[in-house]
Chains A and B, each alone.
Chain A
């Protein structure tokens, strides 16, 4: 295991350093979140909107902001022409794990930001069971990162990257999106933590299945 994880940590560090230096994805992501939130606030206005709809909108914002930033991990390697070096110096599994971890950190911090802003700005969205809500954000981020990483690896090798990413991701992510939306709705209804356990089980098993299949298939995608 160490043979895969140690290089993976270096790849994660490399990506974080290069992200902090260039702010390749970060700036665009932050602006996207602000724009999307503002749009929602304008369109909602003074209307009375149910919490079902609001918990759906929260995940629509998260899905599309993830779509605008998560593909960068692999696309930037292809665009800068650095993927060949990466192929030479490390095993495919380490690359995948490193990128996966980077994507997770990115989407998790982004989701925390969105969740906090959303609760502050959308007055009618009141979370009654914070434990369910934050657990959903955490497990949802794990699941989103796992499926978006392998899809990003696929589209990095295709020609029309930008438009293809949401098209390929949506059918894969739909079971996960429906689950997190339902769990968020539960948290606004003041359900007990135990009631959302089924949702968490789905999210955990989804993450495990997708990560496993990604590790098995990644070398086919990665090697030219």
Chain B
């Protein structure tokens, strides 16, 4: 995202999304295009979906990006890919923490406690653990090349085992999130969206906005890390 217009466009886009997500009124029988329907039991708390879900989504995007750059590093042995892999993992950790905190706060007010070990809470916790382990591993290896190789291998192994949760979780526990076992709208990893069309629009706009924001932040992070690396090397 090099050009200024794209950046300004994204800022406007996200401003509109935030504006719509927070300010659009919730009424029992929506008539105008900007009115959201009230969902019984959720009321105003339903607005979390516009922020919390895109954060969790971005965490997964960052995780996949980090793994892909890890694979490319192993194929090319080009340390620049490792730098991108770490940058993606760093941003992923940040979004992961944000998603955990927002979800946890919301759970306190809607489900009654900060943490319930619901399947999706468990999987975000595991993702946090993987990020933690990834950085712990990196700090334990001194040689640059070796550090890059080992962390790339670790992120690939983590990447192939994480999908097992999709199969394991529904067998073990009932969940509180939509789409879990016990949810009348259908158990399974794929949630069937039953949102009002205008909410769905804002939701997907937010999803796209957050993803683009991630790529923008990623670009800045990679460039600043490159500069940092460059300034550390002895000048000739």
What CA separation (Å) do A174 and B133 show in the bound complex? 14
- A157 vs B149: C-alpha distance in the bound complex, in angstroms? 11
A8 contacts the other chain (CB 8 A): no
Q: Which of B2-10, B165-173, B207-215 contacts A (4 or more CB under 8 A)?
A: B165-173
On whether A171 and B133 interact (CB within 8 A), knowing A210-B157, A210-B160, the answer reads yes
Contacts of B133 in A (CB 8 A): 167-168, 170-171
Interface pick from B11-19, B41-49, B85-93, B134-142: B134-142
Structural contact, A171 and B158, CB atoms closer than 8 A: yes
Size bracket of the B interface: 20 to 34
Q: For A210, list chain B residues within 8 Å (CB).
A: 157, 160-161
B164, A221: Cβ atoms closer than 8 Å = no
Docked complex: A173-224 residues within 8 A CB-CB of B:
174-176, 178-179, 182, 198-199, 202, 205-206, 209-210, 213-214, 217, 220-221, 224
Q: Contact flags (1/0) for B117-129 with A, using CB distance below 8 Å?
A: 0000000001001
Sorting the interface of chain A by its residue count into under 10, 10 to 19, 20 to 34 or 35 or more gives 20 to 34
Residues in chain B near residue A209, CB distance under 8 A: 160-161
Task: Point out the residues of chain A lying under 8 angstroms from B153, CB to CB.
Answer: 150, 154, 217, 220-221
CA–CA, A210 and B156, complex, Å? 10
Which residues of chain A come closer than 8 Å to B126, judged between CB atoms? 171, 174
Q: How far is the CA of A150 from the CA of B156 in the complex (A)?
A: 12
| Bound-state Cα–Cα, A164 to B164, Å | 23
Closest to B164 in A: A175
In the assembled complex, B106 has its CB within 8 A of some CB on chain A: no
* B153, closest chain A residue (CB): A217
Interface hits, A118-170 → B, CB 8 Å: 147, 150-151, 154-155, 157-160, 164, 167-168, 170
**Bound Cα distance A209, B162 (Å):** 11
Q: Which residue on chain B has the smallest CB distance to residue A217?
A: B153
A9 at the interface (CB under 8 A from B): no
Give the complex CA separation of A182 and B149 in angstroms. Answer: 35
What's the Cα separation between A205 and B163 when bound, in Å?
A: 12
Among A150, A198, A220, max chain B CB count under 10 A is at: A220
23 A-B residue pairs with Cβ-Cβ distance under 8 Å, sorted by A, are: A147-B161, A150-B153, A151-B157, A158-B137, A164-B140, A167-B132, A167-B136, A168-B133, A168-B136, A171-B130, A178-B172, A179-B171, A182-B171, A182-B172, A209-B161, A210-B160, A217-B74, A217-B153, A217-B156, A217-B157, A220-B153, A221-B153, A224-B146
Q: With contacts A155-B137, A182-B171, A202-B168 known, what are 16 further pairs, Cβ within 8 A?
A: A147-B161, A167-B132, A167-B136, A170-B129, A170-B133, A171-B161, A174-B126, A175-B162, A175-B168, A182-B172, A206-B161, A209-B161, A210-B161, A214-B157, A217-B157, A221-B153
B interface residue numbers (CB < 8 A to A): 74, 126, 129-130, 132-133, 136-137, 140-142, 146, 149-150, 152-154, 156-158, 160-162, 164-165, 167-169, 171-172
